[in-house]
Amino acid sequence: MKHCWLIVLGIVVLVACSEQESTTLQPQQSQPSLTPEELEIQAPEQPDYSSPKTTIAVPEFREVDWQELIPEDYTFDFIKTQIDLESYDIANLQDGDPEAQRLYRDMQALMRKAPVISELDSEKIKIPGFVVPLEIDGNIVYSFLLVPYFGACIHTPPPPANQIVYVEVEDGFKFLDMYNPVWVSGPITVESKDSVLAYAGYTIRAHSIEDY
């Protein structure tokens, strides 16, 4: 008698479970017998082989490699035509040498004006990279620069202008740390040199940010 409430509780649970099983069995039992015509209507649809449809889902965002952001004709040979490399004794240049600084400045000037591919404009792409936050509110980031390698904001030479993407996230995303790369999906806009800004660059208005 002392533990009867426990037993009652157990019985109630068992009854409840068994009731569920019986309800799932019911529809089959209550089905009336059907005429052959009605049964035909219930037969599964035959696949339509007359018009072949693709069964592979086309992803909405195309995965893009960082290399794709650089125009094909922007090769080292092209760079050689822009900088007078003969004037430098490259083999013997030390890091702190003012000549090395001069070469570096020439390279940087080129990288600042690195060309972009206008054909990419408005394409929906998905690109992985590291986040350098610009507008941040606590742990939520509203806009950032996406770069192909970590350390682009610290001390290693920064990437050229066509290897940086400026990303805006309207409602922000929860940013964990700068060591973890993310996938950025969204339409890419390409500012060419003719724009008001006078600086070429890629921008994405992100639809989603996912961990890599």
Partner 1 sequence: MNWFHIASQSLLNRKTTALLTLFMLAISISLILTVDRIRVDTKENFSNTLSGTDLILGARTGSLNLLLYSVFRIGNASNNIGWASYLELTENEAVAWAVPISLGDSHKGYKVVGTTTDYFKYYQFSRGQSLEIYQGKAFENVFDVVLGYQVAKKLGYQLGEQLVLSHGIGNTSFKEHDDKPFSVVGILKPTGTPVDQSLHISLEGMSAIHINWRNGFEIPGMNITAEQALQMDLTPKTITAALIGMKSRIQTFQFQRMVNDYRNEPLMAIIPGATLAELWQMMSIAEQSLLAISAMVIVTGLLGMMTVILAGLNERRREMAILRALGCPASNIVLLLVLEAGFYGLSGLLLGYGLHLFWVAIASNLMMSLYGIELSMNLPNLTMLWVMTGFLVSSFLIGIVPGIKAYRQSLTDGLTLRT
Query: Minimum Å distance from CB 137 to partner 1?
Result: 4
Cβ distance 132 to 147 under 8 Å? yes
Which is closer to partner 1, CB of 34 or CB of 149?
Answer: 149
Residue in the structure block whose two tokens are 């996938």: 183
Query: Minimum Å distance from CB 166 to partner 1?
Result: 5
Residue in the structure block whose two tokens are 């569920």: 20
CA–CA distance from 198 to each of 67, 73, 112, 194 (Å)?
23, 21, 11, 6
**Which residues here bind partner 1, judged by CB under 8 A?**
2, 5, 101, 104, 108, 111-112, 132-139, 141-142, 144-145, 147, 152-153, 155, 157-159, 161, 164, 166, 175, 177-178, 191, 197-202
Which is closer to partner 1, CB of 18 or CB of 82?
Answer: 82
Query: Minimum Å distance from CB 125 to partner 1?
Result: 17
Query: Minimum Å distance from CB 63 to partner 1?
Result: 22
Residue 74 phi, psi (nearest 5)? -90, 70
Query: Minimum Å distance from CB 47 to partner 1?
Result: 48
CA–CA distance from 86 to each of 73, 95, 175 (Å)?
22, 18, 46
Which is closer to partner 1, CB of 114 or CB of 126?
Answer: 114
| Token reading at 198 | 């006078």
CA–CA distance from 32 to each of 21, 35, 38, 47, 163 (Å)?
21, 10, 11, 28, 69
Which is closer to partner 1, CB of 39 or CB of 134?
Answer: 134
Residue in the structure block whose two tokens are 């001069």: 102
| Token reading at 164 | 């940086």
What is the identity of the amino acid at 49?
A: Y
Which is closer to partner 1, CB of 95 or CB of 119?
Answer: 95
